[in-house]
Each structure stands twice: as structure tokens, then as C-alpha cells.
Amino acid sequence: MGAKRRPRQYAAASMGGGSRTIVVGGGFAGLAAAVRLVAAGREVLVVEAAKHGGGRSRSFHDKVTGREIDNGQHLMMGCYWETLSFMRAIGVPDDALEVQSNLAMTMLKPGGARVELTCPPLPAPLHLAGGLIGMRGIGMLHRAAALRAGLLLRGEIARPDDNETCDAWLRRLGQTPPIRAAFWEPLIWAVLNDDPLVASAAMLIAVLERAFMGSRAASSLVVPRLPLSSVYVQRAVDYIEARGGEVRFASPARKLELDADGRVAGLTLKSGETVATEQIVTAVPPQVLLELLPEAAREHLVFRDVARLEASPIVNLWVTLDEPLLDRPFVGLIASPLHWLWDRDRIEAGTSGRPTAGDSLLSVTISGARGFVDDQPEALRELFLGEIARFFPRARPQIRGFRVVKEKRATISHAVGTYRRRPETQSPIPGLLLAGDWVRTGLPATIESAVQSGHDAAARVLSGR
């Protein structure tokens, strides 16, 4: 029998370094952390496994549509304060984002009738009250029911905790089936990427409060006009490199190295190189973080909770049609598995409208897509055609190109009871800070949560705590 091998111990100083912070992962969270750190004069190395940055918010050239497409249409809101400040810092021009002046959205019923929410230019939250009362295509009784949510936001109804589902909360608030279908459920699928029957109402409230209890602009929808990567990835990399930081693509991290006291001492890459450091910010999905940890560390309660986080998929269909289907940038479909349809040409053209005739690129979002993520493209194409016939009975679009992008681990699931398993920024390992949309930011796993987590981790590094 061989002697039990002692784990290799490292000391940052013995590896000839240590003052540099390593950020693992070049998605929104990692780039936001690195930007904050270099802005404060810190030495930073970002290692990213892929050949490109952007992670789950990225675009790529697609041969089927012949276009630069996103891995999925991304929507932001005026209350994405951390994200918008990150974008300003790296110099994203204003016209890269389409920002609504007031919250407005159109939902279609089967047959094509519209339900329209258009908030008037009143101070928040009166703008929402005005929008709900004036909602077109839905009866007064149902609109009045929606207003009851305002009582909760004003603290007059008990707040849900992380054990109450959105479904139970909507029932407690007396929401009628039509207002649920036309307003609440599309909102829940969009912000929580999960079924209202299982998703935590507390997470929904976190978003509602930010969106509707601050300024009117906080609830406006913000849509990237350009393919996602071109909006922020290269700009962030340029910003980091211009301030002396280094960004290495195609450099997957393999293992965190700890010293004899259990502190961070370095990071070993898949290439075999070990880079010394006393401070690592991981900005990778939960399962990747667990793989990076030394085996013994995974037994810590914090990481055992991380191992119990589940994923929720998103399926995105990119469809080239011979003519435009929509007369506006986007619509939601009521009680359909196809939650949102986006006219990419209209979005890219911005407020000036559609620039060209001819083929039209439509993006279709299926959130919380557990029931569809294993379907073959042919089945998804049938689903698409069936729903288009149901919601646009007069349209006869011909499909010229059909591309399916499946993200099996699009976000963590926000099922009830999940929030308490999300870890804090400061991990139990000294020198290891956790970032990523799934850490405990008070928000559901979104771009805003990712950027906030990166900023939180950077603040910890800078404060020396």
C-alpha cells in the first residue's frame, strides 16, 4: 500500500508574486470586477476559458441566418444601475442601447388582439398605476386587481418570504386569471426565468421595488441595439488593458491553490502554469467554482449549498422570415410557450424604424424552457409555426432560416428556498471572493446581479477586507 500523498502546499511569495488580483471568468461579472479594480490602480489578470468574452451574454456569427446573433435576446431595465454605470465607464455609446422613455409593452392574445400597457409620464409609482388603469384590451375588474400590488409595495400587505411562490402570492393578492396571464406571468418568466408555480415571490418583489418605487425611468425597458458582445466585451477588455491589466482568452483555470493556512496562494491553469496571487475573484457559474476548489473545501457548508443550486434553461429561436411579422420591436404572447418575439431589424434600426425591406430576423424567447430544451429543431420549428398561426392568423411568413440556441444552464433556478443557498461575496476561504449573477446580491440572476456581484467583489478587494 502506498503512503497517502500530502496535498501540495503553496505560498504566494514562494511563487514570486502575490499583489496581482486574478479574476476567473470574462462574463459581465468578471469584466465588471476587473474594470473597477484597474480603475482603482490595481494589477489585474483576467483568465477566461473561451476564446472570447461575454459568457452567457454574448453574440457570435451564425451561418444559418448569416448574421451576428446573441445567444439569446437580452432585456435590461432603467433600474440596472450597476450595469449602466459599468457601460458608461467603459464608453458604451448611448445609441448602442434603445431606452424606452416610459415603460410600454404589448401582449398578444390568441387571434392577435392586443393588450397594451403604456405608462404615462407621471412620477413613480403613479406612472405604473396610470398605466395599469389605462391598460387596453383587458377589463376594468382585472386592471383594478393589479393595482392591489401597489399596496404591497407601500408596505400595506405582508411581504412574501423566500418560501412563498409567485403563484401563491398572486392568489393572496387576488389577481384574476386575465391580469395574471397578460401582465404578471410574462413578467415572472422574464425576470425569474422560472415557472410562477415554483419561483420565489421574494425575488420578484426585489425587482418590482427597484423598477417601480424609484424614478419613472427605473422601469423603462432597455434593449441592446447591437449584437451583445459588440456592445461591451471589447470595450471592457480595452479599458482593462489600457490601465495595465491583462486579459487572457482560451485560458481555463483548473484549480485554486491554498497555502498551509488554507489561504489563497495561486491559481493553476489547464495549461499547467501556476500563477501566484493572494486574491482571486471567481466569476464563473456555480458548478465551475466547485470544480476549481480543492476537494476538502467543497465539504464546507457554504459550498455544499452551492452544489444544491439548480439550473433553469432558456431556448432561443432565431428565425429568418421572408417578411416582417411584427409592427413593433417586440411583443409578448399570452399563455404561449413562446414568451417574447423580437424583431431584430427594427431593434437594430432604433427609433428611425425599419431600414430595409425583404428578409426579417425574428428572435423568439422560451424562458424556463425545461419542457423544450431536449426537443429537436424540427419539433421546435413545428411549435413556432403552430404558435404563429394561432397568434397571427392572417400572416403567411415563409421561413428562410431557422436556428436554435439552447442554454441549458441559462440561470440558476429561483425556486422557493433557493436564495439562502446563494453564497456571500466573501467565501470561507481567505483571499477567495465570489462573483457571478448567482451569488447573494438581493437580485435574481440577471445581468444586473452579475455586474453588482463583480462590483461587490472589487469593493472587497479594494477595502482590503
Ligand X SMILES: Cc1cc2nc3c(=O)[nH]c(=O)nc-3n(C[C@H](O)[C@H](O)[C@H](O)COP(=O)(O)OP(=O)(O)OC[C@H]3O[C@@H](n4cnc5c(N)ncnc54)[C@H](O)[C@@H]3O)c2cc1C
Kindly list the residues in this chain that would bind ligand X in the complex (CB under 6 A): 24-30, 47-50, 55-57, 71-72, 74-76, 252-253, 283-285, 288, 314, 316, 407, 410-411, 436-437, 445-448, 450
Q: Does an H or E element contain 278, and which? A: strand 274-282
In the complex with ligand X, the residue whose CB is nearer, 135 or 223, is 223
Alpha helices in 62-124 (DSSP H): 81-90
Beta bridge partner(s), residue 44: 21
The whole-angstrom separation of Cα 439 and Cα 444 is: 9
In the complex with ligand X, the residue whose CB is nearer, 106 or 229, is 229
Residues 6+ apart with CB under 8 A from 396: none
Least CB distance to ligand X at residue 237 (A): 12
Q: Is 99 helix (H, G, I), strand (E, B) or coil?
A: strand
Least CB distance to ligand X at residue 78 (A): 13
In the complex with ligand X, the residue whose CB is nearer, 182 or 412, is 412
The whole-angstrom separation of Cα 184 and Cα 186 is: 6
Residue 139, number of CB atoms within 10 A of its CB: 12
Q: How far are the Cα atoms of 109, 315, 320, 429 from residue 267, in angstroms, in the given order?
A: 53, 34, 44, 14
Residue 270 phi, psi dihedral angles, 5° rounding: -60, -25
Residue 201, number of CB atoms within 10 A of its CB: 28
Least CB distance to ligand X at residue 251 (A): 7
In the complex with ligand X, the residue whose CB is nearer, 160 or 224, is 224
**Beta strands, E only, 183-235:** 221-224
The whole-angstrom separation of Cα 141 and Cα 58 is: 42
Least CB distance to ligand X at residue 118 (A): 21
Q: Is 187 helix (H, G, I), strand (E, B) or coil?
A: helix
In the complex with ligand X, the residue whose CB is nearer, 150 or 313, is 313
Least CB distance to ligand X at residue 245 (A): 16
In the complex with ligand X, the residue whose CB is nearer, 314 or 321, is 314
Q: Is 204 helix (H, G, I), strand (E, B) or coil?
A: helix
User: Can you read off the three cell numbers belonging to residue 76?
Assistant: 435590461
Residue 395 phi, psi dihedral angles, 5° rounding: -85, 145
In the complex with ligand X, the residue whose CB is nearer, 145 or 412, is 412
In the complex with ligand X, the residue whose CB is nearer, 32 or 265, is 32
Beta bridge partner(s), residue 412: 311
